Amino acid sequence: MEALKNRRFIIIVDTETSLVLYVFKGVDKDYLVSPCKMCTCSDFVINFLWGKRKHPCYHVIGFYIALKEQKFVKIALSHEEVKEVVFEIVFQGFSKLLRKALSRQMS
Ligand SMILES: [Zn+2]
């Protein structure tokens, strides 16, 4: 799966509240995912939740594999940063801060 190699499955830990978030980092859109359960993408909502398809979206299934194979990226952020990342994903569909934090962590 291309997404596993490209480090798209991100686990964010809030260092102050121990809140844990699962994020699928897409090419131009990010989604909040509850692993093995639900996702905020339109494919999940339209085809699985409202539609008749029996399996959820690529992100939910992908996270299941990423967790099983330990192919996720785990990152610790402050509460302020977590708030910003969630705000960006929910209201803009894309988090710039997440990308900044990831490149900071890798350098
Ligand atoms: Zn999805």
**Would you state the structure tokens that stand for residue 65, as one six-digit string?**
């594999």
pLDDT tens for 70-88 read 999 999 999 999 999 999 9
Ligand 1 center from residue 63 Cα (angstroms): 10
Return the pLDDT at 2: 78
Q: What is the mean pLDDT of residues 76-105?
A: 96
Count of alpha carbons within 13 angstroms of residue 72, beta-carbon side: 22
Sheet holding 73-77, edge to edge: 38-39, 30-34, 20-25, 9-14, 73-77
Q: What is the DSSP letter of 88?
A: H
> Which has the closest alpha carbon to 85: 17, 8, 14?
14
Share of the chain above pLDDT 70, in %: 98
Return the pLDDT at 106: 67
Q: Is the pLDDT of residue 5 over 90?
A: no
Ligand 1 center from residue 93 Cα (angstroms): 12
Ligand 1 center from residue 76 Cα (angstroms): 23
What residues does each domain of the chain span? Answer: 2-98
How far is residue 33's CA from residue 17's CA, in Å, rounded to a whole number?
A: 19
Q: pLDDT band for 107, please (50, 70, 90 cuts).
A: low
Ligand 1 center from residue 45 Cα (angstroms): 8
Q: SS3 for 82?
A: helix
Map tokens 């291309």 to a residue. Answer: 2
